[in-house]
Structure 1
Amino acid sequence: MDPDATEPVIGPRARIPNPALQSLAFLVGDWRTTGRHPALPGRTVGGRTSFTWHEGGAFLLVRTHVDESGFPDGMAIIGSDNGSGRLVMVYFDEREVSRIYAVVVGGQHTVTWSRDDPTIAQTVTIRAEADGTLISTGPITEHGGPWGADLSQVFHRIR
C-alpha cells in the first residue's frame, strides 16, 4: 500500500518490463538534440527528448521539446500487441494533435515509427551510432503531395 494513499495501489504486479519492448532499451535516457528542418534553411534547432520506462517497463514514454516556436512539445507512449506481434505509439502534443504510429525495430539499434494517413503521412527512423549518439531522419507528405524531408536530429546523451 502506498503510504500516501488510503487505497492499495492498483495493478502492482503488472508494473514489470515488457519483453516486447526490450529492443528499444538503447533509446532510454535524456538527450539534448540538434537538428535541421527544411522550413528553417541554414538554421540549427536545439531541443530535448527523453525516453523513459513507464510503469516498471510495461511501456516506453517519450517526451519531446524543440527550442523553436512552431514546433510543438509532445509526448508518446509505446506499447505492444502480443497477438499481432506489433508495436504501436500513441502520440499527443500541445496543439491537441493525437496520432497513432506503427513502430518497427530494425537490426543494430534502429527503430522506425510511421503513419500512413491521407492528411499527413510521415516516417521517423532513429539509429544508434558507434559513438553513442542517435540520428533521426525521415520524410513527410501532406494531403498526398510529394514526399519531402522533415525534422532531422542528432541526439547527445545527457544521462
Structure 2
Amino acid sequence: MTTSRKSHQHSPHPSDVPSGRSPALAPLHVLVGTWFVEMTHVALSAPVHGLKTYTWLEGGHFLIERTRFDHPDVPDSVAVIGADASGEGLSEHYFDSRGVLRVFEMTLENGLWKVWRDESGFSQRFTGTFSADGQTLEVVGELSQDGMQWEHDFTHRYSKGKGAS
C-alpha cells in the first residue's frame, strides 16, 4: 500500500500566509546574536547580569528573543518579534516564567529602538539607543499606571558578544 502526500505547491494559501518576507523585518538584523546585559531595576537593590540571544526562526519571518538573568526575582523570558498584521510595522509577543503574556508594538530605525504597550492600569515603554558600531545598546524603561504619568522602571546596558562591563 502506498501513501501519497498532498502537494501544497498548487494549493491556495490561507489569507494569513505572507507572499514574502516583510520589509519591516530588515532593521532587526542589528539584534541578531548574543548580548550580555547589565540591568538596574527600581525593585532591586543592585544591578543584575543576564544574557539575551536573538535568532531568526527558520524562514526568516520571526526573530526569537531568549532572556535569562542571574537573579531569582527576574523572570526568564521568550519573545517572538515579527511584522504586525499590516506587514508594515513590528510587534513583539512576550512570554515569561511567571506565566505573563504581553503584546508590544515596536519600531527600530536609525539606531533608535522603541517598544511600547498601552494597557489600562499598566502601560510600558522603552527606548534603546545603539552605539555607532552597533556593539552596545543603552535602554531606558518606563511604566505608567494611568497612561499619563510615566515613572522610571529599569535600565539595560547591552554589550554584544562580550561580558558586561
Q: Which bin holds the TM-score, normalised by the shorter protein?
A: 0.7 to 0.9
Matched, 1:28 2:32: yes
SS at the partner of 2:25?
A: helix
Q: Which runs of 5+ in 2 are unaligned?
A: 10-17
Tell me which of 62, 79, 82 is aligned to 1:79: 82
Paired position in structure 2 for 1:19:
23
CA shift, 1:116, in A, is 0.6
CA shift, 1:91, in A, is 0.7
Residues 127, 73 of structure 1: alpha-carbon distance in 2 compared, 3 angstrom cutoff: same
Q: Is the 8 A contact 1:61 1:77 kept in 2?
A: yes
Residues 145, 71 of structure 1: alpha-carbon distance in 2 compared, 3 angstrom cutoff: farther
**Distance in 2 between residues matched to 1:129 and 1:75, nearest whole Å:** 25
Residues 40, 90 of structure 1: alpha-carbon distance in 2 compared, 3 angstrom cutoff: same
Matched, 1:157 2:160: yes
Q: Is the 8 A contact 2:27 2:109 kept in 1?
A: no
What do the CA deviations read for 1:40-84 (whole angstroms, capped 9, x no partner)?
24x111111111111232111111112112111111111113636
Paired position in structure 2 for 1:38:
42
Matched, 1:129 2:131: yes
Paired position in structure 1 for 2:113:
111
RMSD: 2.6
Q: Which runs of 5+ in 1 are unaligned?
A: 1-6
TM-score by length of 1: 0.80
SS at the partner of 1:83?
A: coil
SS at the partner of 1:151?
A: strand
Q: Percent identity?
A: 33
Q: Is the 8 A contact 2:114 2:126 kept in 1?
A: yes
Tell me which of 85, 92, 97 is aligned to 1:94: 97
**Distance in 2 between residues matched to 1:72 and 1:141, nearest whole Å:** 20
CA shift, 1:142, in A, is 3.3
SS at the partner of 1:99?
A: strand
**Distance in 2 between residues matched to 1:102 and 1:82, nearest whole Å:** 11
Matched, 1:48 2:72: no
Higher radius of gyration, 1 or 2: 2
**Distance in 2 between residues matched to 1:140 and 1:80, nearest whole Å:** 24
Q: Given residue 86 of structure 1, which amino acid in structure 2 is its aligned partner?
A: G
